[in-house]
Amino acid sequence: MSKKYVGIDIGGTNLKAGVVDETGTLLSAAKTPLQFTTPEAFVETLAGLSRQAAEAAGIGAEEICAVGMGVPGEVDTEHGTILYTCNIPLADLPVGALFRRYLDVPVYLENDANCAALAEYWAGAGKGCHSLIVVTLGTGVGAGIVLGGKLLRGINGTAGEAGHMVVEPDGVPCRCGRRGCWEQYASANALKRITREAMERCPDSALWVHCAGKLEQISGRSAFQVARECGDETAQAVCRSYVRYLALGVVNLINLFQPDVLCIGGGVSNEADEALLHPLQRIVQQERFGHDPRRTAKVVKAELGNDAGLIGAALLGRMETK
Ligand SMILES: [Zn+2]
């Protein structure tokens, strides 16, 4: 019988748990809004969710081989400790040890972008490939790198933070302290900002009609939507500039690691292929290093969507306990 693993996705708004089998198939999921009171109550909630997910998958808690957690921040994988998260006060929390008071199974922690990479590698867009990079375009730009089946962690577990490579010297200030980081130009939030800036320069743009004259109504989808629907020049220029910056980082990553597959996930990746993926692929084709078209990274969309973090967290257990 296939072994079962629980994955937990600690998000900024929701906590999710799910049971995954050895192939990375999600068998069940449970979720609850994040309400942080005390560390103990928080960990108890995670254990409760895990039991709920196990029950929904029709297995007893004793059949869970391991629990993996995806954390939006830095973790000490060796000691099962959360070191830092930006939006939940979990710093220095020995979540692994606390969790085992409720459910005595091996517990593994990993950064959430790395979890998404593992999931796509084992069960999504990179299934069967040698090396894969996942770039997730959300509030920020997350990235995870799997080389020959191994997650690239570096000395402190934060390797692969491609969102913080600088693509514009003296550019927009970033939360990390540098200026001009890739995530300030290629995240969904950046797309929103670039759209607003373009509107301020172009009072005639159809984007103003789209948001009923209110800049605060602009979303990360506005520019692509208006460009598609009425061919507005300002919106088209925003999309071109966005894809240009996205491609800059993608080509940098491909040149550094030459993976078989680089996949793009997160909200922005849902835009139509002709507006996002195809122009991105064209720039990569022109600019990548290496001239053999048979041996070059495929740039594709991620396949697992919002479940990637959950599935990857569960697969940590599979990787570590095999
Ligand atoms: Zn940064």
pLDDT tens digits, residue range 227-237? 999 999 999 99
Centre of ligand 1 to C-alpha 165, Å, is: 7
How do strand 150-151 and strand 141-147 relate by DSSP bridges?
antiparallel
pLDDT of residue 85: 85
Q: What is the identity of the amino acid at 257?
A: F
Centre of ligand 1 to C-alpha 164, Å, is: 4
Interval 205-218: pLDDT, tens: 999 999 999 999 99
Centre of ligand 1 to C-alpha 83, Å, is: 18
pLDDT of residue 36: 83
Centre of ligand 1 to C-alpha 173, Å, is: 8
pLDDT, average across residues 159-180: 96
pLDDT, average across residues 58-74: 93
Centre of ligand 1 to C-alpha 140, Å, is: 9
pLDDT of residue 321: 75
Centre of ligand 1 to C-alpha 198, Å, is: 23
pLDDT of residue 285: 93
For 259, other C-beta atoms within 10 Å of its C-beta total 23
**CA–CA dist 318, 65 (Å, integer):** 8
Centre of ligand 1 to C-alpha 103, Å, is: 37
pLDDT of residue 90: 85
**CA–CA dist 58, 269 (Å, integer):** 34
pLDDT of residue 294: 84
pLDDT, average across residues 173-193: 97
Q: Which two tokens stand for residue 279?
A: 């122009």
Centre of ligand 1 to C-alpha 280, Å, is: 22
pLDDT, average across residues 30-49: 92
**CA–CA dist 167, 238 (Å, integer):** 17
Centre of ligand 1 to C-alpha 179, Å, is: 7
pLDDT mean across residues, the chain:
94
Centre of ligand 1 to C-alpha 10, Å, is: 22
Centre of ligand 1 to C-alpha 99, Å, is: 32
pLDDT of residue 322: 65
The DSSP code sequence of 277-303 is HHHHHHHHHHH-S---TTSS-EEEE-S
**CA–CA dist 91, 224 (Å, integer):** 38
Collect all residues with Cβ–Cβ distance below 8 Å to 84 and sequence separation of at least 6: 73, 74, 91
- Indicate the length of the chain as a whole number: 322
